[in-house]
Amino acid sequence: MPKPRPEQELQTIENIVRLHPDGIGAPEIAKALSTAIPERTLQYRLKLLVDSGRLIRKGEGRWTKYRLPGEQAPTVGKLGAGPIIVPLSKAANEVREHLRQPAAARKPVGYNRDFLDSYRPNVTSYLSADERARLAEIGRPNFKGEPAGTYAKQILSRLLIDLSWNSSRLEGNTYSLLDTRRLIEFGKEAKGSDRRDAQMILNHKDAIEFLVGSASEIGFNRYTILNLHAILANNLLQDETAVGRLRRIAVGIEKSAFHPLEVPQLIEECFDQVLATANVINDPFEQALFVMVHLPYLQPFDDVNKRVSRLGANIPFIKQNLTPLSFTDVPRDLYTDAMLGVYELNRIELLKDVFIWAFERSAARYAAVRQSLGEPDPFRLKYRDALREVVGAVIRTRMERKAAATHIEAWSMENIEPDAQETFREMVETELLALHEGNFARYQITPKEFRGWQEVWTGNGPSQ
């Protein structure tokens, strides 16, 4: 009869497994032990822990993993300096367990039209009533009665960087957050980086500005989604005619057993059905999650489908002045698994857990951002677009100070209500005087245009 092992040694193994909520194999456990032990001895100790219910064993052979029991276990990812912990439900962990198998061992599946057909807007619900209520409570700032896009415009400079970086990062983009800020604000590409990475981020910036700038016109319709794809895919597809056009070729999903639809007529039919369904969903959070599930699942475009779904999910948030979803801190491997769970199993639990956690993270971030900005000036908010137009014209045409003052006065008299003209002129002039290399990008002007104007404005160059 084998001699029992001291409880302390079993607890050591248990503590190593506790640090790996997604599971850990015997070879990794052996490496983590402070004192080396024979493989057979380790296997015996692991069997004792499993038989006593202290550990759970999943998989066979080289794919065997051990983890602690429990209906809910967090997943741990890494981003930046520290670990990111996302709590997952039992159902979400079941999805991840399926994906532990290599792609070649998973059952090949095609597009399941019933998955879309079975969804009944405002009857079927991926989010529970309690979940929707909780998201609404944390994500609904007080912008009652304000025009669509007001909240997003207020935090636009932060949103452009956050969402552009995080969405690009989830695609494997190598830019850091600092590199992204420099690219967006100064047009400066990171040294030694792939030009496609810079293009991807700039496309995100343009796409966000399109959604926010057209907040009252956008929706779940062909105009919005096709143009959103065209902006996000700009200069990134081998076939430039495929930009903003539904897919006509077969595509595959890397490291997946899923095979998307191949018949163009069916792709178009399902695409229209996805948009029509999303458009009549009443709850903005359910609407967003539905789009994150069904647009990538259909794969309506040659590429860039997930990017379209992530920005598309923000459409109801932008239109209804809710907290935007910037995917801050979402681990890439977890998001990838969530999408594979949709593709191969038609299960949304993992993606739902990621969505809820990510929205809570975004809501906390932008509440802090808004607090740091203070309450918005209602006059500046009302005339934001007019301010951008006038400042942009002054800079692009390289007006010197006297010419700018004349232009501002004439423009105000023609476009601004009489009782607001003087305040508007003062606001524009103050803004021009405060412009510097760190804040001009919000007026959608290039570094070259800004430098050219600055030479004239400061008297260091000829006027044009």
Domains of the chain: residue spans and CATH: 7-67 (1.10.10.10), 97-373 (1.10.3290.10), 378-457 (no CATH)
What pLDDT shows up at residue 4? 43
pTM beyond 0.85: the answer is: no
The total number of residues shown for the chain amounts to 464
Burial of 342 (0-12, 13-18, 19+ CB in 10 A): buried
Number of alpha carbons in the 13 Å side-chain half-sphere of residue 348: 20
Q: To 5 degrees, how large is the angle CA 227–CA 283–CA 300?
A: 30
Amino acid identity for residue 380 in this structure:
R
Which candidate, 89, 133, 70, places its Cα nearest to that of 350? 89
pLDDT score at 1: 37
pLDDT confidence of residue 3: 45
The packing angle between helices 284-298 and 349-373, to 10°, is 130
Q: Which helix (H) or strand (E) holds 7?
A: helix 7-18
The CA distance from 307 to 159, in Å, is 15
> Positive or negative CA dihedral for 386, 392, 395, 399?
negative
- pLDDT one digit per residue (tens) for the chain, 464 residues: 344 446 667 878 887 887 777 788 888 888 878 677 888 888 888 988 888 888 888 877 777 888 887 534 445 454 544 456 788 999 999 999 999 888 888 999 999 999 999 999 999 999 999 999 999 998 988 777 789 999 999 899 899 999 999 999 999 999 999 899 889 887 888 888 889 999 999 999 999 999 999 999 999 999 999 999 999 999 999 998 999 999 999 999 988 999 999 999 999 999 999 999 999 999 999 999 999 999 999 999 999 999 999 999 999 999 999 999 999 999 999 999 999 999 999 999 999 999 999 999 999 888 877 666 555 677 888 888 899 999 999 999 999 988 998 899 999 999 999 999 988 988 898 888 888 888 888 888 888 999 999 999 887 655 44
Give strand pairing partners of 58: 65
User: Alpha-carbon Rg of the chain, whole angstroms?
Assistant: 26
